């Protein structure tokens, strides 16, 4: 199984859990797992991160041709299922518009097309109509999703202190 990461996972890692200067092991682990075909993200997420114009944006730019995969034919085809479900859903029109204009539907479409698991900080909220949440769409389309710590635990990752 491969994991496809949402931008919020990387942003929180940089800002709170695994800053580049304190926990370089997290970022090294991502690179190693990408090389092994187990962790990646999508082009639309890279574009979001690059707009941040910070250390994470630079990290994303340095991986423009690797970690962030381009839209392929299978993903493009799966986007119709994602978009169709969201449009038919009981969400506010502005929520649908905002969701479909961002990276999230591409992330889900990629996971749907390739049998991957979406990793996000978002959580499903039953009956939510003001926002379209990644786990809600994933649940409806039978796409696995989980939080970053769950992924790290499942993969038995440990960042060991070396001083």
Cβ contact 138:108 at 8 Å: yes
**Residues forming a β-bridge with 4:** 40, 118
Rg of the chain over Cα atoms, rounded to whole angstroms, equals 16
What mean pLDDT, rounded, does the chain reach?
94
Cβ contact 6:121 at 8 Å: yes
| pLDDT tens-place string over residues 11-43 | 999 999 999 999 999 999 999 999 999 999 999
What CATH number was assigned to the domain covering residues 3-154?
3.40.50.1010
CA distance 49 to 113: 23
Share of the chain above pLDDT 90, in %: 86
- How much is the pLDDT for 47? 95
Nearest to 78 by CA among 107, 101, 46: 107
- How much is the pLDDT for 124? 76
Whether 123 has a pLDDT exceeding 90, the answer reads no
| pLDDT tens-place string over residues 136-148 | 999 999 999 999 9
Q: Where are the domains of the chain?
A: 3-154
Cβ contact 103:42 at 8 Å: yes
Burial of 9 (0-12, 13-18, 19+ CB in 10 A): buried
135 CB contacts (<8 Å, ≥6 apart)? 118, 120, 122, 123, 124, 145
Q: Give mean pLDDT, residues 78-102.
A: 94
| pLDDT tens-place string over residues 36-73 | 999 999 999 999 999 988 999 999 999 998 999 999 99
pTM recorded for the entire structure: 0.93
């Amino acid at each position: 199984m491969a994991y496809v990461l949402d931008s919020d996972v990387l942003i929180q890692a940089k800002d709170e859990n695994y800053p580049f200067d304190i926990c370089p092991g997290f970022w090294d682990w991502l690179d190693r797992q990408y090389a092994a075909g187990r962790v990646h993200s999508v082009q639309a997420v890279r574009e979001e991160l690059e707009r941040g114009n910070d250390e994470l944006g630079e990290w994303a730019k340095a991986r423009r041709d690797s970690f962030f995969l381009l839209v392929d034919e299978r993903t493009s085809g799966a986007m119709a299922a994602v978009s169709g479900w969201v449009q038919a859903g009981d969400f506010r029109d502005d929520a649908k518009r905002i969701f479909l204009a961002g990276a999230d539907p591409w992330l889900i479409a990629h996971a749907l097309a390739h049998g991957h698991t979406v990793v996000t900080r978002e959580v499903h909220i039953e009956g939510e109509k003001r926002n379209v949440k990644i786990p809600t769409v994933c649940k409806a389309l039978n796409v696995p999703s989980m939080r970053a710590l769950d992924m790290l635990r499942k993969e038995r990752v440990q960042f060991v202190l070396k001083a």
